[in-house]
Chains A and B, each alone.
Chain A
Amino acid sequence: MMALRERSLVSPRSVPSLPKHVRLQYDPVRQAFAVLSPEKVFWPNDISLDILRRCDGRSTVGHIIAGLAVEYDAEQEAVAADVIAFLQEWSDKLLVKL
Protein backbone atom coordinates (compact mmCIF):
# COMPACT_ATOMS: atom_id res chain seq x y z
CA MET A 1 0.00 0.00 0.00
CA MET A 2 1.58 3.27 -1.10
CA ALA A 3 0.43 6.67 0.04
CA LEU A 4 -0.93 8.87 -2.73
CA ARG A 5 1.98 10.38 -4.63
CA GLU A 6 -0.10 13.05 -6.33
CA ARG A 7 -2.22 15.79 -4.83
CA SER A 8 -5.91 14.97 -5.26
CA LEU A 9 -8.35 17.67 -6.32
CA VAL A 10 -11.99 17.57 -5.27
CA SER A 11 -14.55 17.12 -8.01
CA PRO A 12 -18.28 16.33 -7.79
CA ARG A 13 -17.39 12.76 -8.76
CA SER A 14 -14.82 12.26 -5.98
CA VAL A 15 -15.75 9.64 -3.41
CA PRO A 16 -14.26 10.85 -0.11
CA SER A 17 -13.46 8.62 2.82
CA LEU A 18 -11.43 8.85 5.99
CA PRO A 19 -7.93 7.40 5.55
CA LYS A 20 -6.76 4.62 7.82
CA HIS A 21 -4.80 6.93 10.10
CA VAL A 22 -7.86 9.11 10.79
CA ARG A 23 -10.75 8.20 13.05
CA LEU A 24 -13.97 10.04 13.82
CA GLN A 25 -15.40 9.02 17.16
CA TYR A 26 -17.60 10.23 19.97
CA ASP A 27 -15.78 11.18 23.15
CA PRO A 28 -18.04 10.52 26.15
CA VAL A 29 -15.80 12.54 28.50
CA ARG A 30 -16.19 15.79 26.52
CA GLN A 31 -19.52 14.81 24.96
CA ALA A 32 -18.33 15.79 21.49
CA PHE A 33 -17.10 14.17 18.30
CA ALA A 34 -13.33 14.10 17.87
CA VAL A 35 -11.22 13.49 14.78
CA LEU A 36 -8.16 11.51 15.83
CA SER A 37 -5.01 11.61 13.68
CA PRO A 38 -1.38 10.64 14.38
CA GLU A 39 -0.37 13.69 16.39
CA LYS A 40 -3.46 15.87 16.47
CA VAL A 41 -7.03 15.80 17.69
CA PHE A 42 -9.60 18.01 15.94
CA TRP A 43 -13.01 19.08 17.24
CA PRO A 44 -15.20 19.55 14.15
CA ASN A 45 -18.14 21.95 14.34
CA ASP A 46 -21.65 20.72 13.42
CA ILE A 47 -21.31 21.43 9.71
CA SER A 48 -17.85 19.88 9.42
CA LEU A 49 -19.14 16.87 11.30
CA ASP A 50 -22.05 16.51 8.88
CA ILE A 51 -19.62 16.49 5.96
CA LEU A 52 -17.16 14.08 7.60
CA ARG A 53 -19.92 11.62 8.48
CA ARG A 54 -20.83 11.43 4.82
CA CYS A 55 -17.23 10.63 3.82
CA ASP A 56 -18.10 6.95 3.85
CA GLY A 57 -16.24 5.78 0.75
CA ARG A 58 -19.55 5.27 -1.13
CA SER A 59 -21.12 8.72 -1.56
CA THR A 60 -19.86 11.08 -4.25
CA VAL A 61 -19.20 14.72 -3.44
CA GLY A 62 -22.21 15.54 -5.64
CA HIS A 63 -24.44 13.36 -3.49
CA ILE A 64 -23.03 14.80 -0.29
CA ILE A 65 -23.74 18.36 -1.51
CA ALA A 66 -27.28 17.48 -2.57
CA GLY A 67 -27.98 15.78 0.77
CA LEU A 68 -26.66 18.69 2.81
CA ALA A 69 -28.56 21.25 0.71
CA VAL A 70 -31.78 19.45 1.58
CA GLU A 71 -30.89 19.05 5.23
CA TYR A 72 -29.89 22.70 5.68
CA ASP A 73 -32.60 23.99 3.34
CA ALA A 74 -29.91 25.96 1.50
CA GLU A 75 -28.92 26.81 -2.06
CA GLN A 76 -27.02 23.93 -3.63
CA GLU A 77 -24.40 26.30 -5.07
CA ALA A 78 -23.55 27.83 -1.70
CA VAL A 79 -23.36 24.41 -0.09
CA ALA A 80 -21.18 23.13 -2.94
CA ALA A 81 -18.61 25.89 -2.49
CA ASP A 82 -18.35 25.24 1.25
CA VAL A 83 -18.17 21.46 0.93
CA ILE A 84 -15.57 21.53 -1.84
CA ALA A 85 -13.39 24.04 0.02
CA PHE A 86 -13.63 21.98 3.21
CA LEU A 87 -12.80 18.68 1.51
CA GLN A 88 -9.89 20.19 -0.43
CA GLU A 89 -8.42 21.59 2.78
CA TRP A 90 -8.81 18.28 4.61
CA SER A 91 -7.47 16.33 1.66
CA ASP A 92 -4.44 18.63 1.49
CA LYS A 93 -3.78 17.79 5.13
CA LEU A 94 -4.25 14.07 4.34
CA LEU A 95 -7.20 13.91 6.73
CA VAL A 96 -9.64 12.95 3.95
CA LYS A 97 -8.96 10.57 1.06
CA LEU A 98 -10.49 11.37 -2.33
Chain B
Amino acid sequence: MSEPLLPPIGMLAELTHRCPLQCPYCSNPLELLKANRELDTQTWLDLFSQAADLGILQVHLSGGEPTLRRDLEQLIAGLSARGVYTNLITAGVGIAEGRIEAFAEAGLDHLQLSFQGARPATTDRIGNHKGGHEKKLETARRARAAGLPLTINAPIHRHNIEEVPEFIDLALSLGAERLEIANVQYAGWALTNRDQLMPERAAVDRQAEIVAAARERLTGIMNIDFVPPDYFAIYPKPCMGGWARDAFMVTPDGTVLPCHAAQTIPSLSFERFGPRSLAEIWIDSPAFNAFRGTDWMQQPCRSCERREIDWGGCRCQAMAIAGDAAATDPACEKSPIHARMAMLIDEAQRAAADPSKDEQFVYRRIGVVTEPA
Protein backbone atom coordinates (compact mmCIF):
# COMPACT_ATOMS: atom_id res chain seq x y z
CA MET B 1 0.00 0.00 0.00
CA SER B 2 1.28 3.44 -0.89
CA GLU B 3 -0.59 5.05 2.03
CA PRO B 4 -2.08 3.72 5.27
CA LEU B 5 -5.65 2.46 5.06
CA LEU B 6 -8.02 5.00 6.59
CA PRO B 7 -11.57 4.39 7.79
CA PRO B 8 -14.29 5.09 5.21
CA ILE B 9 -16.35 8.30 5.54
CA GLY B 10 -19.35 7.78 3.25
CA MET B 11 -21.58 4.95 2.20
CA LEU B 12 -24.26 4.68 -0.46
CA ALA B 13 -26.99 2.21 0.48
CA GLU B 14 -29.07 1.05 -2.46
CA LEU B 15 -32.00 -0.21 -0.44
CA THR B 16 -33.94 -1.50 -3.44
CA HIS B 17 -33.78 -1.62 -7.22
CA ARG B 18 -37.54 -1.10 -7.48
CA CYS B 19 -38.42 2.31 -8.92
CA PRO B 20 -41.47 4.00 -10.42
CA LEU B 21 -39.22 5.78 -12.95
CA GLN B 22 -37.37 4.21 -15.87
CA CYS B 23 -34.58 6.72 -16.57
CA PRO B 24 -32.43 5.46 -19.44
CA TYR B 25 -29.19 6.47 -17.63
CA CYS B 26 -29.89 4.82 -14.30
CA SER B 27 -26.71 4.02 -12.36
CA ASN B 28 -28.11 0.68 -11.19
CA PRO B 29 -26.71 -2.37 -12.99
CA LEU B 30 -28.46 -3.75 -16.09
CA GLU B 31 -29.37 -6.86 -14.16
CA LEU B 32 -31.70 -5.44 -11.54
CA LEU B 33 -32.57 -7.34 -8.37
CA LYS B 34 -36.16 -8.12 -7.55
CA ALA B 35 -37.73 -7.36 -4.17
CA ASN B 36 -37.20 -10.91 -2.90
CA ARG B 37 -33.42 -10.37 -3.02
CA GLU B 38 -33.46 -7.33 -0.72
CA LEU B 39 -31.96 -7.40 2.76
CA ASP B 40 -34.50 -7.33 5.58
CA THR B 41 -34.84 -4.51 8.10
CA GLN B 42 -32.69 -6.08 10.82
CA THR B 43 -29.84 -6.87 8.42
CA TRP B 44 -29.74 -3.28 7.19
CA LEU B 45 -29.78 -2.04 10.79
CA ASP B 46 -26.88 -4.39 11.66
CA LEU B 47 -25.00 -3.24 8.58
CA PHE B 48 -25.53 0.44 9.49
CA SER B 49 -24.35 -0.18 13.02
CA GLN B 50 -21.16 -1.83 11.74
CA ALA B 51 -20.74 1.06 9.29
CA ALA B 52 -20.86 3.56 12.16
CA ASP B 53 -18.32 1.49 14.11
CA LEU B 54 -16.08 1.47 11.06
CA GLY B 55 -16.10 5.29 10.87
CA ILE B 56 -18.87 6.00 8.37
CA LEU B 57 -20.17 9.53 9.02
CA GLN B 58 -22.64 9.87 6.15
CA VAL B 59 -25.08 7.43 4.60
CA HIS B 60 -26.86 8.17 1.35
CA LEU B 61 -30.09 6.22 1.23
CA SER B 62 -30.77 5.48 -2.39
CA GLY B 63 -32.17 2.89 -4.77
CA GLY B 64 -34.05 2.43 -7.03
CA GLU B 65 -36.53 4.41 -5.08
CA PRO B 66 -35.71 4.09 -1.36
CA THR B 67 -39.13 5.28 -0.19
CA LEU B 68 -40.58 2.04 -1.59
CA ARG B 69 -39.03 0.39 1.48
CA ARG B 70 -41.79 0.48 4.07
CA ASP B 71 -39.16 0.30 6.83
CA LEU B 72 -37.34 3.47 5.69
CA GLU B 73 -38.38 5.41 8.80
CA GLN B 74 -36.88 2.65 10.96
CA LEU B 75 -33.64 2.62 8.97
CA ILE B 76 -33.30 6.42 9.27
CA ALA B 77 -33.95 6.23 13.01
CA GLY B 78 -31.27 3.52 13.37
CA LEU B 79 -28.67 5.67 11.62
CA SER B 80 -29.73 8.79 13.45
CA ALA B 81 -29.32 7.04 16.81
CA ARG B 82 -25.68 6.41 15.87
CA GLY B 83 -25.13 10.05 14.88
CA VAL B 84 -24.72 9.22 11.20
CA TYR B 85 -25.69 12.01 8.79
CA THR B 86 -28.52 10.74 6.59
CA ASN B 87 -29.24 11.88 3.06
CA LEU B 88 -32.32 10.53 1.30
CA ILE B 89 -31.94 10.36 -2.49
CA THR B 90 -35.42 10.15 -3.94
CA ALA B 91 -37.27 10.48 -7.25
CA GLY B 92 -40.11 12.02 -5.23
CA VAL B 93 -43.09 10.37 -6.90
CA GLY B 94 -45.70 8.35 -5.05
CA ILE B 95 -44.55 9.13 -1.50
CA ALA B 96 -47.57 8.52 0.74
CA GLU B 97 -49.09 11.30 2.80
CA GLY B 98 -47.30 11.85 6.09
CA ARG B 99 -44.16 9.90 5.26
CA ILE B 100 -41.85 12.83 4.55
CA GLU B 101 -42.81 14.26 7.94
CA ALA B 102 -42.10 10.81 9.43
CA PHE B 103 -38.63 10.74 7.82
CA ALA B 104 -37.90 14.16 9.33
CA GLU B 105 -39.21 12.97 12.68
CA ALA B 106 -36.95 9.89 12.49
CA GLY B 107 -33.95 12.23 12.16
CA LEU B 108 -33.39 12.61 8.42
CA ASP B 109 -30.76 15.31 7.85
CA HIS B 110 -31.21 16.11 4.18
CA LEU B 111 -33.30 15.24 1.15
CA GLN B 112 -32.04 15.08 -2.42
CA LEU B 113 -34.74 15.18 -5.06
CA SER B 114 -34.11 14.38 -8.73
CA PHE B 115 -35.69 16.24 -11.63
CA GLN B 116 -35.25 14.63 -15.03
CA GLY B 117 -36.19 17.90 -16.71
CA ALA B 118 -36.88 21.49 -15.71
CA ARG B 119 -40.01 21.28 -17.87
CA PRO B 120 -42.85 18.87 -17.05
CA ALA B 121 -42.82 17.23 -20.51
CA THR B 122 -39.08 16.49 -20.25
CA THR B 123 -39.32 15.06 -16.73
CA ASP B 124 -42.24 12.84 -17.70
CA ARG B 125 -40.62 11.61 -20.90
CA ILE B 126 -37.15 10.84 -19.49
CA GLY B 127 -38.52 9.05 -16.44
CA ASN B 128 -41.27 7.48 -18.57
CA HIS B 129 -43.75 8.44 -15.86
CA LYS B 130 -46.76 10.59 -16.66
CA GLY B 131 -47.40 13.36 -14.15
CA GLY B 132 -44.01 12.81 -12.51
CA HIS B 133 -42.97 16.47 -12.59
CA GLU B 134 -46.03 17.66 -10.66
CA LYS B 135 -45.49 15.00 -8.00
CA LYS B 136 -41.86 16.06 -7.61
CA LEU B 137 -42.86 19.70 -7.12
CA GLU B 138 -45.24 18.54 -4.41
CA THR B 139 -42.51 16.44 -2.76
CA ALA B 140 -40.22 19.47 -2.71
CA ARG B 141 -42.91 21.59 -1.06
CA ARG B 142 -43.64 18.90 1.52
CA ALA B 143 -39.93 18.50 2.29
CA ARG B 144 -39.57 22.24 2.88
CA ALA B 145 -42.71 22.31 5.00
CA ALA B 146 -41.24 19.49 7.11
CA GLY B 147 -38.13 21.65 7.61
CA LEU B 148 -35.83 19.41 5.58
CA PRO B 149 -32.85 20.89 3.76
CA LEU B 150 -33.13 20.25 0.03
CA THR B 151 -30.84 19.49 -2.89
CA ILE B 152 -32.21 19.36 -6.43
CA ASN B 153 -30.37 16.84 -8.58
CA ALA B 154 -30.45 17.31 -12.33
CA PRO B 155 -28.86 14.56 -14.43
CA ILE B 156 -27.84 16.21 -17.69
CA HIS B 157 -27.69 14.80 -21.24
CA ARG B 158 -28.59 15.80 -24.79
CA HIS B 159 -32.32 15.97 -24.14
CA ASN B 160 -32.20 18.47 -21.27
CA ILE B 161 -28.84 20.26 -21.50
CA GLU B 162 -30.60 23.35 -22.89
CA GLU B 163 -32.75 23.43 -19.74
CA VAL B 164 -29.81 24.13 -17.41
CA PRO B 165 -30.83 27.81 -16.83
CA GLU B 166 -34.38 26.62 -16.05
CA PHE B 167 -33.03 24.01 -13.62
CA ILE B 168 -31.27 26.83 -11.77
CA ASP B 169 -34.51 28.85 -11.56
CA LEU B 170 -36.47 25.76 -10.52
CA ALA B 171 -34.09 24.95 -7.67
CA LEU B 172 -34.20 28.58 -6.49
CA SER B 173 -38.00 28.68 -6.63
CA LEU B 174 -38.21 25.48 -4.57
CA GLY B 175 -36.00 26.97 -1.87
CA ALA B 176 -33.17 24.47 -2.36
CA GLU B 177 -29.84 25.12 -0.66
CA ARG B 178 -28.06 23.13 -3.28
CA LEU B 179 -28.32 22.14 -6.94
CA GLU B 180 -26.40 19.35 -8.60
CA ILE B 181 -25.90 19.75 -12.34
CA ALA B 182 -24.57 16.27 -12.96
CA ASN B 183 -23.78 15.20 -16.48
CA VAL B 184 -24.62 11.56 -17.07
CA GLN B 185 -21.76 9.11 -16.66
CA TYR B 186 -21.67 6.39 -19.28
CA ALA B 187 -21.83 3.17 -17.30
CA GLY B 188 -24.64 0.63 -17.05
CA TRP B 189 -27.90 1.88 -18.56
CA ALA B 190 -26.30 5.13 -19.74
CA LEU B 191 -23.69 3.13 -21.66
CA THR B 192 -26.49 1.16 -23.34
CA ASN B 193 -28.15 4.48 -24.31
CA ARG B 194 -24.95 6.42 -24.95
CA ASP B 195 -25.73 7.43 -28.53
CA GLN B 196 -29.13 8.69 -27.41
CA LEU B 197 -27.76 10.70 -24.49
CA MET B 198 -24.49 12.21 -25.69
CA PRO B 199 -24.74 16.02 -25.86
CA GLU B 200 -23.19 18.18 -28.56
CA ARG B 201 -19.85 19.81 -27.84
CA ALA B 202 -21.22 23.34 -28.30
CA ALA B 203 -23.98 22.64 -25.78
CA VAL B 204 -21.43 21.31 -23.28
CA ASP B 205 -19.32 24.46 -23.63
CA ARG B 206 -22.40 26.69 -23.21
CA GLN B 207 -23.45 24.74 -20.16
CA ALA B 208 -20.05 25.26 -18.51
CA GLU B 209 -20.32 29.03 -19.02
CA ILE B 210 -23.89 29.18 -17.71
CA VAL B 211 -23.00 27.22 -14.58
CA ALA B 212 -19.86 29.28 -13.91
CA ALA B 213 -21.85 32.53 -14.19
CA ALA B 214 -24.68 31.19 -12.00
CA ARG B 215 -22.24 30.05 -9.31
CA GLU B 216 -20.76 33.52 -9.20
CA ARG B 217 -24.18 35.19 -9.11
CA LEU B 218 -25.57 32.82 -6.47
CA THR B 219 -22.64 32.84 -4.05
CA GLY B 220 -24.07 32.62 -0.55
CA ILE B 221 -27.57 31.97 -1.94
CA MET B 222 -27.49 28.49 -3.45
CA ASN B 223 -24.61 26.06 -3.89
CA ILE B 224 -24.23 24.58 -7.36
CA ASP B 225 -22.21 21.40 -7.71
CA PHE B 226 -21.19 20.73 -11.28
CA VAL B 227 -20.21 17.32 -12.59
CA PRO B 228 -18.91 17.88 -16.12
CA PRO B 229 -19.20 15.15 -18.75
CA ASP B 230 -16.19 12.80 -18.83
CA TYR B 231 -16.04 12.32 -22.58
CA PHE B 232 -15.36 16.05 -23.07
CA ALA B 233 -12.80 16.27 -20.27
CA ILE B 234 -9.03 16.78 -20.22
CA TYR B 235 -8.48 15.05 -16.90
CA PRO B 236 -10.52 12.21 -15.41
CA LYS B 237 -12.59 12.48 -12.25
CA PRO B 238 -11.20 10.97 -9.07
CA CYS B 239 -13.97 8.40 -9.16
CA MET B 240 -15.38 7.81 -5.64
CA GLY B 241 -12.45 9.95 -4.42
CA GLY B 242 -10.20 7.00 -5.29
CA TRP B 243 -11.06 3.29 -5.39
CA ALA B 244 -11.92 2.04 -1.89
CA ARG B 245 -10.31 5.13 -0.38
CA ASP B 246 -13.03 6.79 1.69
CA ALA B 247 -16.38 5.48 0.44
CA PHE B 248 -18.17 2.37 -0.70
CA MET B 249 -21.65 1.21 -1.61
CA VAL B 250 -23.99 -1.66 -0.82
CA THR B 251 -26.48 -3.19 -3.27
CA PRO B 252 -30.01 -4.27 -2.26
CA ASP B 253 -28.83 -7.84 -1.56
CA GLY B 254 -25.93 -6.71 0.63
CA THR B 255 -23.12 -6.98 -1.89
CA VAL B 256 -20.44 -4.46 -0.93
CA LEU B 257 -18.86 -2.60 -3.87
CA PRO B 258 -16.21 0.09 -4.25
CA CYS B 259 -18.46 1.89 -6.79
CA HIS B 260 -21.72 1.61 -8.74
CA ALA B 261 -20.39 -0.11 -11.82
CA ALA B 262 -17.66 -2.24 -10.20
CA GLN B 263 -19.47 -5.44 -11.17
CA THR B 264 -18.72 -4.68 -14.83
CA ILE B 265 -15.08 -5.60 -14.13
CA PRO B 266 -15.11 -9.34 -14.80
CA SER B 267 -11.83 -10.15 -13.02
CA LEU B 268 -13.23 -9.03 -9.66
CA SER B 269 -15.57 -10.89 -7.35
CA PHE B 270 -17.43 -9.14 -4.58
CA GLU B 271 -18.48 -10.18 -1.12
CA ARG B 272 -21.77 -9.87 0.66
CA PHE B 273 -22.47 -8.48 4.08
CA GLY B 274 -23.59 -11.25 6.40
CA PRO B 275 -21.10 -13.98 5.57
CA ARG B 276 -18.41 -11.33 6.21
CA SER B 277 -18.44 -8.19 8.34
CA LEU B 278 -18.15 -4.74 6.77
CA ALA B 279 -14.73 -4.26 8.38
CA GLU B 280 -13.42 -7.51 6.90
CA ILE B 281 -14.66 -6.54 3.45
CA TRP B 282 -13.31 -2.97 3.69
CA ILE B 283 -9.88 -4.09 4.84
CA ASP B 284 -9.33 -7.50 3.24
CA SER B 285 -11.54 -7.95 0.20
CA PRO B 286 -9.33 -8.61 -2.86
CA ALA B 287 -11.73 -6.53 -4.97
CA PHE B 288 -11.29 -3.54 -2.64
CA ASN B 289 -7.53 -3.93 -2.64
CA ALA B 290 -7.30 -4.42 -6.42
CA PHE B 291 -7.07 -0.68 -7.25
CA ARG B 292 -6.44 0.88 -3.86
CA GLY B 293 -3.76 3.57 -3.59
CA THR B 294 -1.30 3.87 -6.48
CA ASP B 295 0.70 0.60 -6.53
CA TRP B 296 -1.58 -1.00 -9.13
CA MET B 297 -1.08 1.81 -11.63
CA GLN B 298 0.46 1.42 -15.06
CA GLN B 299 2.05 4.20 -17.10
CA PRO B 300 1.24 7.02 -17.65
CA CYS B 301 -0.54 7.09 -14.24
CA ARG B 302 2.33 5.55 -12.27
CA SER B 303 4.70 8.48 -12.78
CA CYS B 304 2.02 11.18 -13.21
CA GLU B 305 2.08 14.17 -10.85
CA ARG B 306 -1.72 13.95 -10.68
CA ARG B 307 -1.82 10.31 -9.54
CA GLU B 308 -3.03 11.26 -6.05
CA ILE B 309 -5.46 13.86 -7.42
CA ASP B 310 -7.26 11.73 -10.00
CA TRP B 311 -6.40 8.30 -8.56
CA GLY B 312 -6.28 7.00 -12.14
CA GLY B 313 -9.87 8.10 -12.81
CA CYS B 314 -12.67 5.60 -13.27
CA ARG B 315 -11.76 1.90 -13.34
CA CYS B 316 -15.07 0.96 -14.93
CA GLN B 317 -14.58 3.46 -17.75
CA ALA B 318 -11.08 2.06 -18.32
CA MET B 319 -12.69 -1.39 -18.52
CA ALA B 320 -15.50 -0.26 -20.83
CA ILE B 321 -13.37 1.71 -23.29
CA ALA B 322 -9.78 0.47 -22.96
CA GLY B 323 -10.79 -3.11 -22.17
CA ASP B 324 -8.42 -3.10 -19.16
CA ALA B 325 -9.58 -2.04 -15.70
CA ALA B 326 -6.00 -1.13 -14.72
CA ALA B 327 -5.48 1.20 -17.68
CA THR B 328 -5.51 5.00 -17.41
CA ASP B 329 -9.07 6.31 -17.62
CA PRO B 330 -9.41 7.24 -21.33
CA ALA B 331 -11.01 10.53 -20.22
CA CYS B 332 -7.45 11.64 -19.39
CA GLU B 333 -5.62 13.40 -22.21
CA LYS B 334 -2.51 11.43 -21.21
CA SER B 335 -4.23 8.13 -22.00
CA PRO B 336 -2.86 6.57 -25.20
CA ILE B 337 -6.46 6.04 -26.35
CA HIS B 338 -7.84 9.44 -25.28
CA ALA B 339 -8.74 10.17 -28.93
CA ARG B 340 -11.27 7.34 -28.71
CA MET B 341 -13.47 9.60 -26.55
CA ALA B 342 -13.78 12.17 -29.33
CA MET B 343 -14.55 9.35 -31.79
CA LEU B 344 -17.33 8.08 -29.54
CA ILE B 345 -18.78 11.60 -29.31
CA ASP B 346 -18.73 11.87 -33.12
CA GLU B 347 -20.26 8.43 -33.51
CA ALA B 348 -23.09 9.41 -31.19
CA GLN B 349 -23.69 12.64 -33.12
CA ARG B 350 -23.83 10.73 -36.40
CA ALA B 351 -26.23 8.20 -34.92
CA ALA B 352 -28.41 11.04 -33.61
CA ALA B 353 -28.49 12.70 -37.03
CA ASP B 354 -29.34 9.46 -38.86
CA PRO B 355 -33.12 9.34 -39.39
CA SER B 356 -33.03 5.57 -40.01
CA LYS B 357 -31.77 4.99 -36.44
CA ASP B 358 -34.38 4.28 -33.82
CA GLU B 359 -34.64 7.32 -31.51
CA GLN B 360 -36.10 5.29 -28.64
CA PHE B 361 -34.37 4.89 -25.31
CA VAL B 362 -33.86 1.51 -23.74
CA TYR B 363 -35.79 2.40 -20.60
CA ARG B 364 -34.59 0.96 -17.31
CA ARG B 365 -36.73 -1.99 -16.28
CA ILE B 366 -36.23 -5.26 -14.50
CA GLY B 367 -35.65 -8.02 -17.04
CA VAL B 368 -35.18 -5.79 -20.14
CA VAL B 369 -31.50 -6.57 -20.44
CA THR B 370 -30.15 -9.87 -19.21
CA GLU B 371 -26.64 -9.66 -20.62
CA PRO B 372 -24.34 -6.69 -19.98
CA ALA B 373 -24.05 -4.65 -23.20
- For residue A38, which residues in chain B have a CB less than 8 angstroms away from its CB? 87, 109-110, 112, 149, 151, 177-178
**A27 engages B112 (CB within 8 Å):** no
- For residue A3, which residues in chain B have a CB less than 8 angstroms away from its CB? 175-177, 221-222
Q: In angstroms, how far is the closest chain A Cβ from the Cβ of B171?
A: 9
Find residues 81-115 in chain B having any chain A CB closer than 8 Å to their own CB: 83, 85, 87, 109-110, 112
DSSP class of A's interface residues: helix, strand, loop or mixed?
loop
Verify if A1 is at the interface (C-beta below 8 Å from B).
Answer: yes
Q: How many A-B residue pairs have CB under 8 A?
A: 69
A7–B85 Cα gap in the complex (Å)?
Answer: 26
Find residues 9-27 in chain A having any chain B CB closer than 8 Å to their own CB: 19-21, 23, 25, 27
**A25 engages B83 (CB within 8 Å):** yes
- For residue A39, which residues in chain B have a CB less than 8 angstroms away from its CB? 87, 178, 225
A29–B8 Cα gap in the complex (Å)?
Answer: 10
Find residues 170-192 in chain B having any chain A CB closer than 8 Å to their own CB: 172, 175-178
Question: Most chain-A CB neighbours within 10 Å: which of B110, B147, B151, B220?
Answer: B220
**A21 engages B57 (CB within 8 Å):** no
How many B residues touch the partner, as a band?
20 to 34
**B85 engages A30 (CB within 8 Å):** no
Q: In angstroms, how far is the closest chain A Cβ from the Cβ of B132?
A: 23
Interface residues as binary, B265-296 with A (CB distance below 8 Å gives 1, 0 otherwise): 00000000000000000000000000000000
Q: In angstroms, how far is the closest chain B Cβ from the Cβ of A50?
A: 21
- For residue B87, which residues in chain A have a CB less than 8 angstroms away from its CB? 38-39
**B175 engages A41 (CB within 8 Å):** no
Verify if B7 is at the interface (C-beta below 8 Å from A).
Answer: yes
- For residue B57, which residues in chain A have a CB less than 8 angstroms away from its CB? 27, 34, 36, 41
Q: How many residues of A contact B (CB 8 A)?
A: 25
**A20 engages B147 (CB within 8 Å):** yes
- For residue B221, which residues in chain A have a CB less than 8 angstroms away from its CB? 3-7
What are 19 A-B pairs with beta-carbon distances under 8 A? A1-B175, A2-B144, A3-B175, A3-B221, A3-B222, A5-B172, A7-B221, A19-B149, A21-B149, A21-B177, A23-B85, A25-B83, A27-B57, A29-B53, A34-B57, A38-B110, A38-B112, A39-B87, A94-B220
User: Residues of A at under 8 Å CB distance from B?
Assistant: 1-8, 19-21, 23, 25, 27, 29-30, 34, 36, 38-39, 41, 91-94
